[in-house]
Amino acid sequence: MADPQDLTTLDAAELGRRLAGGELSSVELTRAYLDRIAAADGVLGAYLHVDADAALARAGEIDAARAAGEELGPLAGLPIALKDVFVTEGVPTTSGSKILEGWRPPYDATVAARLKDAGTVLLGKTNMDEFAMGSSTENSAYRPTRNPWDPERIPGGSSGGSSAAVAGGLAPWALGTDTGGSIRQPAAVTGLVGHKPTYGSVSRYGLIAFSSSLDQAGPMARTVLDAAVLHEAIGGHDPRDSTSIDAPTLGLVEAARRGAGGDLAGLRVGVVRELGGDGHTDGYEDGVLARTRETVALLESMGADVREVSCPSFDLALPAYYLIAPSEASSNLARFEGMRFGLRVGDDGAHHLDEVMSLTREQGFGPEVKRRIILGTYALSAGYYDAYYGQAQKVRTLITRDFTSAYDDVDVLVSPTSPTVAWLIGARVDDPLAMYAADLCTLPASLAGLPAISVPCGLSDGLPVGFQVMAPALADDRCYRVAAAVEAALDSARGHRLLDELDRRAATAGAQA
Amino acid sequence: MSTPSPKEPLGRQDLAHLARLARLALSDDELDHFAGQLSAVLDAVAQVGKADTADVAPMTHAVPLTNVTRPDVVTPSLPRDVVLAGAPAAEDDRFRVPQILGDEE
């Protein structure tokens, strides 16, 4: 008989084996997670919506199907959490905003439908920065989420509910979305694996849009292998997304398994000077740079051919991103006008349509969303368009050129995932530029549409540090291979997973309290 | 607001104008608060002007795709009742919206 405490720390691959082997029922597993949510989410605030009855009913259906001898896929019966940016039929979806409070979407996002068809059990919808705008989840209109490693600190953002849930044992794995780093940075600061797929390789149909040319859904998991399995389950062409690439998502699980073997002979690795290298260390914590250097040395010890590469245009990634993303957001968020869904304010017969729209948006949006809408409106204005939005789009071309010439000489590029470990809640909340700096290392791959993964590479001051691996378009398998090699080598040297240290610390804190 | 000048901070009046364009009814407090913050952000993003982009085409999309089409066939729409159930106000099987035209129009 499995101990329910263990079930909430095991990886999804092991849980899947136990389900398939009949040692564990989906109801038993789902109940273990619901119990952990009931016990811990009051503090962590990882979820915006949990429906225990629906989850248990779904788990019961899967168990019954298995008992009846039906052919089930490898994900059948595994619980999962979805960031609240994915629309889910009949299940409340807010994108972290008051403007959508109480809205129940009439359809499923493609990735949500694929996971449903695969037999997964939806535990709930996770907290996020409002409309995915933020790096700390403090911009949620509902409540902040806390980091399971230290509840006084942020869990990263904008997919901070997903990161806190998976790291804290409130879900075995989860989906996030990444526009400028919103999967990778929260994964990094909570000790998880998080992957942003090649733009266009995972459907955006049913994602509440923030910045359409950048948004991409991806996995957040406890292991590289779990992330690869989840990525393969959601990836692939979707005719409902006109930017979807018509190519299958294959070979990721195989790459993760191969990488774990630890042989990187012949792999050419470029260390990006502009992301924490010589002359570019402002804002980077020493501990983060030390873990990064050690991980690069580890790659070398596994046979990789490591060299430094320079990508000078990366210095302009942050200003370009904070023009492009707000511009696209100001356009996308025009749909929230209080007429077809969500909040409506001031409809008392005395106010005209325009006034009702303005009052609705004033009350329904939080400060960061308003700041970005105004910034985007400004950047797209006549007379400013060429100098701001147009110029940012040209910088995007320069960044892509830097990547292209780097990949002439190397197979992957590496860097820290974020310049710092998790900071204290409140520390950057009223300083937008300080908040934006958390995205420094993740923005270049976002702007170029390239795949990038964050894998845990140790602790600094007792808090997790992430190592980023970037690859050319549609070469996501390289990210998984290198990340798996790092994970396997560090786990083996340590004797356990990094996340296992969180469990012991949490237990100690509990005992002291 | 005629020519781009990042050196010039975003004034309260400019901000109020942008808020009107974006259909945001900002409060006085918000106008005061955002003016300083957005001026700092604008200073930072104006650095894109440093790049030499004389011969550079803008990149609008990470993956160049053109003429994505689908067969022109009728497919089922979402059920009307389900969609209207999520609307703030509905009447006679339609979205009900506030007054659009003024009394004098």
Every domain of chain A and the residues it spans: 8-314+397-512
| Closest CA relative to residue A454, chosen from A433, A435, A430, A438 | A438
| Closest CA relative to residue A502, chosen from A227, A286, A292, A192 | A192
How buried is A56 (Cβ within 10 angstroms: 0-12 exposed, 13-18 middle, 19+ buried)?
middle
According to the model, what pLDDT value does residue A506 have?
54
Q: Any CB–CB contact under 8 A between A378 and chain B?
A: yes
How buried is A323 (Cβ within 10 angstroms: 0-12 exposed, 13-18 middle, 19+ buried)?
buried
Q: B100 and A352: CB-CB below 8 Å?
A: yes
pLDDT-derived band at B103 (thresholds 50, 70, 90) equals: low
**CA-to-CA distance for A147 and A505, rounded, in angstroms?**
13
**CA-to-CA distance for B43 and B9, rounded, in angstroms?**
8
Closest Cβ opposite residue B48 in set A319, A353, A358: A319
Q: Which one of A378, A433, A440 would you mutate to disrupt binding with B, by most B Cβ within 10 Å of its Cβ? A: A378
Q: Which residues of A touch B15 (CB under 8 A)?
A: 374
Strands (E), A250-325: 268-272, 305-309
Q: Which residues of A touch B42 (CB under 8 A)?
A: 375, 378
Half-sphere exposure of A201 (CA within 13 A, CB side): 26
Closest Cβ opposite residue A432 in set B41, B61, B88: B41
| Closest CA relative to residue A330, chosen from A378, A363, A298 | A378
**CA-to-CA distance for A499 and A222, rounded, in angstroms?**
8
Q: A391 and B19: CB-CB below 8 Å?
A: no
Q: A200 and B62: CB-CB below 8 Å?
A: yes
CA distance B65 to chain A (A): 7
According to the model, what pLDDT value does residue B3 have?
42
- Is residue A445 a contact partner of residue A407, using CB atoms and an 8 Å limit? no
Instruction: State both tokens at A352.
Output: 């005209």
Place of tokens 């894998």: A455
* Residue range A223-238, pLDDT digits in tens: 999 999 999 999 999 9
- Is residue A233 a contact partner of residue A118, using CB atoms and an 8 Å limit? yes
H or E segment and range at residue A121: strand A121-126
Instruction: State both tokens at A330.
Output: 């100001």
According to the model, what pLDDT value does residue B63 have?
73
Q: Any CB–CB contact under 8 A between A16 and chain B?
A: no
According to the model, what pLDDT value does residue B101 have?
82
Please identify among residues 23-52 of chain B the ones whose CB lies closer than 8 Å to any CB of chain A.
23-27, 30, 33-34, 37-38, 40-42, 44-51
CA distances from A47 to A27, A34, A69, A369, A501 (A): 20, 11, 34, 21, 23
**CA-to-CA distance for A138 and A41, rounded, in angstroms?**
16
A165-169, A448-452, B58-62, B97-101: range with lowest mean pLDDT: B58-62
**CA-to-CA distance for A449 and A104, rounded, in angstroms?**
31
Straight-line distance from the first to the last Cα atom of chain A, in angstroms, rounded to the nearest whole number: 30
Instruction: State both tokens at A200.
Output: 């266009």
Instruction: Work out the angle at residue A91's Cα, subtended by the Cα atoms of residues A367 and A141, and round it to the nearest 5 degrees.
Output: 15
Instruction: State both tokens at A304.
Output: 């990789």
According to the model, what pLDDT value does residue A3 have?
54
**CA-to-CA distance for A321 and A304, rounded, in angstroms?**
32
- Omega before A212 within 30 of 0, i.e. cis: no
* 3-class SS of residue A372: helix
* B102 pLDDT more than 80: no
Q: List the CATH code of the domain at A8-314+397-512.
A: 3.90.1300.10
Q: B53 and A367: CB-CB below 8 Å?
A: no
Q: Which residues of A touch B51 (CB under 8 A)?
A: 313, 316, 391, 394-395, 398
According to the model, what pLDDT value does residue B8 have?
62
Is the complex ipTM more than 0.95? no
How buried is B69 (Cβ within 10 angstroms: 0-12 exposed, 13-18 middle, 19+ buried)?
exposed
Q: Are strands A79-83 and A173-178 parallel, antiparallel or unpaired?
A: parallel
Look up the pTM and report it. 0.96
The alpha-carbon radius of gyration of chain A (Å, integer) is: 22
Ranges of chain A whose pLDDT falls below 50: 1-2, 504-505, 507-508, 510-513
Domains and CATH numbers, chain B: 1-51 (1.10.20.60)
**CA-to-CA distance for B60 and A168, rounded, in angstroms?**
39
According to the model, what pLDDT value does residue A500 have?
92
